[in-house]
Structure 1
């Protein structure tokens, strides 16, 4: 089964460079790494080029569009359309993924299911201190290191850091009482299922834009499967200057409409048709 990894990014070249180093450590390398770039400057392009030169065995594609404000869903749709893989894994370009991350997503892949994970959030000070060596030697996933950096104070965070044997953690994922929402920073599904709902809704900006997509997948008959305890992912802190409370409120209304209507197709997705072509 062919698998592509889609990484969304916007003007955070340091974080992207660290993210790509964690990709290079995967036990299961994706066929292609697609950088879904929402209009970054030349520094990001230089990071992508340098990574490709340093890791010629990893196929990297840089999918870019002009900066028009927060249009993450639009660039994700371009990356999905550019892929020819069977299965797509999604992360953000400020996330460090455990060496078994891609393999775990593929292990549980099923045509009627999407995967949705979670995040271990570093604070600003810990983020500033992360080095390339911390990523390549795996220290950022060490529970003692995470504890020293204040990341695992909560019990659920300790579980996300891999405190349990995988068999126990896998069972806990199934019974843990949380909603199975699509988390755009740690998620995956078969590409055919994504195309069947026409990908992401490009009218939605920051704030729940990924959950709306997940709702349409569920309306189409897919079930969410959590991998919050068996696919560790460390999130690097960053400011969110694009946060807009009015837009978030508008997104909530769109989420409610998608949930209540049961619709699966968005006319503002990969295809701009009002309905899927028969």
Structure 2
């Protein structure tokens, strides 16, 4: 099974480089890597070119379109459509992947399931404290590092960073009471399952666009599986100037409509207008 990791990004090359460094530290590296770029400028391209020269052993392709506002769903569809992998894992360029991220997503891969993990959210101060060495050594995922930077805002954050054996963490995944939704910064599915629902709805901007996609997957028979404690990622803090409360409300209604109607296909996806 060929696994590709798709990383979405927009104009934050420092964070994207940290994300890429966390990919290098994976216990099981992806077979290929795709940066789905929602219109970043020249600094991001320059960073990626430099990274490729530093690490030619990691196949990387850069899928880009012009900046026209928040169009993450559109660039993800381009990445999915152009991929040659069997199984696709997704994260964002403001996330750092724990060492077992790719291995865990690949291990639970099933054609009738998608997998979805969770975040450990850093504050602005903790984000500014992250150094490349913290990512390369794995320190940023350890309890002592997180505790020192006051990242334990809730009990579940402590549990995500517990150095327990995988079976114990997997048991927590199985019993923790949470809806199994698609988490865009930490999720995976077979490419054929994504194509079967026509990918992401490109009319949706920030605010529930990943959940709507997950609802359609579930309606198609590809139900969710949580990797909340076995595959967390560390999320770097940043402002969200693109947040639109009206769009959030509209898209919340779209999610509920998709659940009620058992909708599986979007006409605004990888193959526009077909169905």
Q: Could you tell me the TM-score, scaled by structure 1's length?
A: 0.97
Deviations 1:61-116 (A, max 9, x none): 11000000000000000000110100000000000001111001001111100000
The equivalent of 1:171 in structure 2 is 171
**Secondary structure class of the residue paired with 1:184:** coil
Q: What CA distance in whole angstroms lies between the structure 2 residues aligned with 1:29 and 1:65?
A: 26
Q: What CA distance in whole angstroms lies between the structure 1 residues aligned with 2:13 and 2:82?
A: 22
Q: What CA distance in whole angstroms lies between the structure 2 residues aligned with 1:73 and 1:232?
A: 22
Structure 1 range deviating more: 230-239 or 88-97:
230-239
The equivalent of 1:228 in structure 2 is 228
**Secondary structure class of the residue paired with 1:248:** helix
Note if contact 1:162-1:230 (Cα within 8 Å) is conserved in structure 2.
no
Q: What CA distance in whole angstroms lies between the structure 1 residues aligned with 2:175 and 2:232?
A: 18
Could you tell me which runs of 5 or more consecutive residues in structure 1 were left unpaired when the two chains were aligned. Answer: none
Deviations 1:149-185 (A, max 9, x none): 1112421111111343321110111111000000000
Note if contact 1:162-1:232 (Cα within 8 Å) is conserved in structure 2.
no
| 2:21 counterpart of 1:21 | yes
The equivalent of 2:248 in structure 1 is 248
The equivalent of 2:267 in structure 1 is 267
Instruction: Extract structure 1 runs of 4+ deviating beyond 3 A.
Output: none
Could you tell me which runs of 5 or more consecutive residues in structure 2 were left unpaired when the two chains were aligned. Answer: none
The equivalent of 2:63 in structure 1 is 63
Q: What CA distance in whole angstroms lies between the structure 2 residues aligned with 1:263 and 1:246?
A: 23
The equivalent of 1:49 in structure 2 is 49
The equivalent of 1:158 in structure 2 is 158
The equivalent of 2:210 in structure 1 is 210
| 2:16 counterpart of 1:6 | no
Q: How many residues align?
A: 275
Q: Could you tell me the TM-score, scaled by structure 2's length?
A: 0.98
Note if contact 1:96-1:235 (Cα within 8 Å) is conserved in structure 2.
yes
